[in-house]
A and B are shown apart, each in its own frame.
Chain A
Amino acid sequence: MSTRDSILARIRQNRPQATALPDIHAVPFIRYDNPFEAFATLIRNLGGDAVQLAAGQSVADVVAARWPDAGRTVDLTVAGHEEVDDPHAWHDVDVAIVPGQLAVAENATVWVSHPDNHFRSIYFLTQKLVLVVPRDAMVDTMRDAYARIDMAEHGFGAFISGSSRTADIEQSLVMGAHGAMAALVIFV
């Protein structure tokens, strides 16, 4: 018998008594009166920031105002942006502006998933990450978020919350472990 079949056979033999799958939608989860407020307050503790675009302002304006001396900037939210064949080619990106599909108020995460996975590495290689999210694409909790996600779509997707961080040295929180050192969410 193959390893696969013998493992499955052993499990079948050892199966504990059957129990029912609970309905996770039957339980009320937290709701926020002002989801943006909840999101923005949280993300500040997570090494990030969130702003709402003012009338007449562009994403590029906000980014330029925040990081005037940024080096290589790649903006995936505009048409005709730069493309690469090799994920390593993003290694010196300073600011990456990427589309975010969904924001979650309870934990300040943004769901990113791009039709072209050549761009996957840019979320993590860039020094500063800017996530651009439509204002109405905000849900309260992760349960609502998963109800809106189509996983089959792109083969990869991630919830990103603030900047990369670690507390592995004596429990001191340090921003900028391997991924982005700073994160900015712009609601448009």
Chain B
Amino acid sequence: MKDDSVKHPQAAAEFLKDRAQAKWHDSAIWWVRQKRDAQAKQLPEWEELRRLAREIKAHTLSQLDDYLAQFEANAQKNGVTVHWAADADEHNRIVHDILAARQVKKLVKSKSMLTEECGLNPYLEQRGIEVVDTDLGERIVQLRHEAPSHIVMPAIHLKKEQISELFHKELGTEAGNNDPTYLTHAARANLREHFLTADAGLTGVNFAIAETGGVVVCTNEGNADLGTSLPPIHIASMGLEKIIPKLEHLGVFTRLLARSAIGSPVTTYTSHFHQARPGGEMHIVIVDNGRSDILGNEDFYQSLRCIRCGACMNTCPVYRRSSGFSYSYIIPGPIGSTLGPSRDMKKHGSMAFACSTCGSCSNVCPVKINLHEQLVLHRKKAFDQNLLPTGKKMGLLAMRFLTQHPALFDLGGKVMRKVVPIIPESLTRHSAWSRAGRDLPPMPAQSFKEQYQQRSQNKKDKQDKKDKEEQQ
């Protein structure tokens, strides 16, 4: 489970202590971002797809109650049982009731950020049910008793040596064998046993189709499919924002999801579940847990368009350099930093500051959520609610004062440009800037304003000269 007392700056500083691993983390995730770009370039209609996705989701949210009711009715027609959960606790209770009534001993789970959000695993384990996460990355973090550090690549914070050691201890693999293929196939053999002996399977939901009453789950590993085609019970847990109106709309979303998430044209399996396997039963739990409140918030409801592709994390310079564990909310990165504070500003307010406002997240988001703008709004809220540490608050107040008094701002800049270059290093070594292993940047000779004025002047001079020549 996630520790929600995490404060981003401290946790990030901790992560950055291991410079080599932090560097690897940054470059490995950036590589995924580059793969995403390559995929986007292959489709001339990429930007149109993003626009369509955005508009389909916006429309759906504007009639969400109707579409949910339609979805429920159609699912029931297919023989699926639909449940509604107001919060995490009700979700967990519903899942446990289904399992307990059928004496389920073992549940195989495919990846679901929603069940992480609800804390389902510990809830069921406390009640004597064995829960096996089957996505390889999720399995790794489960065996380490950790939360996922990324929503698509849950174990991206780990090196293969650490996984090898873990598997040696837990699965009896060869000590010191760090080969990813060897390790993956060892996990495959182990998890196959679990699939074949489980009494029930639980999946998340990528898309729920109102028109047909079914759900779509996308995986590369096939774990959702084994977990639902073998055991007799399939439970699908979905956030209520997962709805799309019609089957045909999948022709937009399934084109965007994997390309944005992992830079692949599609996931290996895009599975459409409308009925239980023969002799089995299927349940869908529709979960609110704060979503309907966010829907009513004019500034932040757009975040409900999110299809959880993770592209915003992969591009975020702060996320890549601080890892998912630096964020207090279960979903890290730009989207988590807007969802978290929307849920609970006191607990997750520090996340909105883990942002350079570069806007890269909004530029890659396949459903065009205005992520960086939402983060700025959250900062303002945190400030207004007096939730900032004193130092940060004073800094911001000083900055506000300066920007409101341009003459003073100019003077401050002038002084800095003169003074900073002659400060002895021993005095700056422990400043917030230098502590992270950075040198102070060289100071420019002129301020931006001066440079700008000079350039405009030069341009004007040139033009004047030209005009004069033409006249002559």
Residues of chain A having any CB pair with chain B under 8 Å: 2-4, 6-8, 10-22, 24, 27-30, 42, 46, 87-88, 91, 106-109, 116-118, 120-121, 123-125, 141-147, 149, 151-152, 155-172, 174, 176-180
Name the contact of A87 in the complex, choosing from B59, B137, B230 (C-beta under 8 A): B230
SS of B interface (majority): helix
B267 to chain A minimum Cβ distance, whole angstroms, is 7
Contact B159 A170 (CB under 8 A): yes
Residues of chain A within 8 A of B12, CB atoms compared: none
Contact B226 A124 (CB under 8 A): yes
Write out, one digit per residue, whether chain B residues 189-214 have a CB within 8 A of any chain A CB (1) or not (0). Answer: 00110011000000000000100101
Interface size on B, residues (CB 8 A): 95
Residues of chain A within 8 A of B43, CB atoms compared: 29-30, 106
The complex places the Cα of A167 from the Cα of B33 at a distance, in Å, of 15
Residues of chain A within 8 A of B270, CB atoms compared: 109, 158-159, 161
B393 at the interface (CB under 8 A from A): no
Contact B265 A42 (CB under 8 A): yes
Contact B278 A117 (CB under 8 A): yes
B188 at the interface (CB under 8 A from A): yes
B236 at the interface (CB under 8 A from A): no
The complex places the Cα of A118 from the Cα of B276 at a distance, in Å, of 11
Q: Which of B150-158, B373-381, B436-444 contacts A (4 or more CB under 8 A)?
A: B150-158
Give the nearest-CB partner of B79 in chain A: A155
B255 at the interface (CB under 8 A from A): yes
Name the contact of A166 in the complex, choosing from B85, B220, B273 (C-beta under 8 A): B220
Contact B266 A161 (CB under 8 A): yes
Q: Which of B63-71, B98-106, B123-131, B400-408 contacts A (4 or more CB under 8 A)?
A: B63-71
Residues of chain A within 8 A of B225, CB atoms compared: 120, 123-124, 158, 179
Residues of chain B within 8 A of A19, CB atoms compared: 55, 58-59, 62
Name the contact of B223 in the complex, choosing from A106, A108, A159, A177 (C-beta under 8 A): A177
The complex places the Cα of A170 from the Cα of B34 at a distance, in Å, of 17
Contact A178 B134 (CB under 8 A): yes
9 new A-B contacts, CB < 8 A, other than A2-B84, A168-B155, are A10-B293, A22-B56, A120-B277, A142-B255, A156-B275, A161-B270, A167-B262, A174-B184, A178-B222
Contact A177 B220 (CB under 8 A): yes
Contact A170 B136 (CB under 8 A): no
Known: A124-B226, A156-B274, A178-B188. A14 touches B251 (CB 8 A): no
Contact B269 A166 (CB under 8 A): no
Query: What are the 6 closest A-B residue pairs judged by CB atoms, nearest first?
Result: A179-B222, A14-B296, A155-B275, A143-B251, A177-B221, A168-B137
Contact A159 B266 (CB under 8 A): yes
The complex places the Cα of A180 from the Cα of B226 at a distance, in Å, of 11
Give the nearest-CB partner of B155 in chain A: A168
Q: Which of B241-249, B318-326, B384-392, B445-453 contacts A (4 or more CB under 8 A)?
A: B241-249
Provide a sorted-by-A list of 11 A–B residue pairs whose CB atoms are within 8 angstroms.
A2-B84, A10-B296, A11-B240, A15-B61, A16-B301, A19-B58, A22-B55, A118-B278, A164-B222, A178-B222, A179-B269
B130-154, CB < 8 A from A: 134-137, 140, 153-154
Give the nearest-CB partner of A113 in chain B: B272
B76 at the interface (CB under 8 A from A): no
Contact A11 B251 (CB under 8 A): no
The complex places the Cα of A174 from the Cα of B153 at a distance, in Å, of 14
Give the nearest-CB partner of A14 in chain B: B296
Contact B220 A164 (CB under 8 A): yes
Residues of chain B within 8 A of A179, CB atoms compared: 221-222, 225-226, 268-269
